Amino acid sequence: MMNVFRCPLTVTRRPQAASRFATENGPRNTENIAVSERGVALVTALLVVTLAAVAAVAMTSRQQIDIRRTQNVLETEQLRFFLYGIEGWAGKMLEQDRRDGEVDHLGEDWAMRLPPVPVDNGQLTGHIEDAQGRFNLNNLILDGKTSAEDLMRLRRLLAALELSPDLADAIVDWIDADIEPLPPYGAEDATYLGNTPPYRAANRLFGDVSELRLVAGIDAAGYRLLAPHLAALPARTAINLNTASAAVIMALADGIGRSEAEDFVATRQDQHYSSVDAALQQPVFANRTVARDGLGVSSNHFVVMSAISLGRLEQRYASLLRREDNGAATLIVRTQLYL
């Protein structure tokens, strides 16, 4: 008979080992996988919560900004209407003043300051200044040429303010039509094109007194001294002797001292002058040559100074009005003030 070789180990033991490995390690692997899945879920949940919180904060911040922006728009619009109201008040005051008489002086109602008026969430105030109590820069040009008398007045005004009278030449060159510098201290395009940034002389009338900051030689300190005594009016105007400052009075003739000009202004507070002749009879002008051209005792150009505070907004404006022959006031230009 043929003998048959049998190997029981191969048949019976390996399945038992595999079964024991699966029995011992299977539940542990399942537990590890479950723990890992719970960790991923927790991280995902934290990420979602974080993103939701960031989105909520962003939306809240944006909403606050939108609310504040809307409030600013509403307050700005309301402030603008208050400004229109102050200008309207000034126009009515000037119209009534013209009906009362032709002479303008600082003892009239229009020259009184409007006391602070309370409004919802703020207050407003305003007053009227005579623009013709100042030296009109645009008087420097007469019929297309330099006005010699007004140039001399500007030189005297500069000297009265302890500034160099030579600055007058550059100021004239800024508005005259030619491109030739006025000797000896004028300045035309050749001077300004060398600046950074370069620019040219305007060669036209002043639109605003602030243009002086572009004129050669006029620095910030000089401008602050000059500006209160200057105007840039659209037409040739006379200096009102009833409202002119002491510095402007000093500019009317050679040799007028500051104390003399201040005495004239102080005397004027008690008694205004009804005519140019009456004003020129005062001691300050005695034995002095004063050109009558360009002098007067009435005005047609006024500046309305407004100050309005509303909520967090606070703004100031200067509104130039021209009074017509019938007394009606017309707005020429409105400027917001930042200084």
At 90-146, the pLDDT tens digits run 999 999 999 999 999 999 999 999 899 999 889 999 999 999 999 999 999 999 999
**pLDDT value at residue 125:** 95
**pLDDT value at residue 58:** 80
User: What parts of the chain have a pLDDT lower than 50?
Assistant: 1-5, 7, 9-12, 17-18, 21-22
- Tell me the CB-side half-sphere exposure of residue 176, using CA atoms within 13 A: 22
**pLDDT value at residue 44:** 83
CA-to-CA distance for 291 and 153, rounded, in angstroms?
Answer: 10
Q: What are phi and psi of 153, to 5 degrees?
A: -65, -40
- Of the candidates 308, 319, 305, 303, the one whose C-alpha atom is nearest the C-alpha of residue 78 is 308
Handedness of CA 263, 264, 266, 270 (dihedral sign): positive
**pLDDT value at residue 64:** 75
CA-to-CA distance for 101 and 114, rounded, in angstroms?
Answer: 22
Name the CATH topology of 138-229+243-294. Answer: Ribonucleotide Reductase Protein R1; domain 1 (1.10.40)
User: What is the distance between the terminal CA atoms of the chain, rounded to a whole angstrom?
Assistant: 128
**pLDDT value at residue 18:** 47
Domain 76-131+301-337 CATH assignment equals 3.30.1300.30: yes
What letter would DSSP give residue 298? -
CB 296 within 8 A of CB 275: no
The CB-based long-range contact list for 196-199 (8 Å cut-off, 24+ gap) reads: none
Integer Rg of the chain from CA: 41
Give me the residue spans of the domains in the chain: 8-57, 76-131+301-337, 138-229+243-294
pTM: 0.80
**pLDDT value at residue 31:** 63
Angle value at C-alpha 276, between 275 and 282, nearest 5 degrees: 105
CA-to-CA distance for 220 and 336, rounded, in angstroms?
Answer: 19
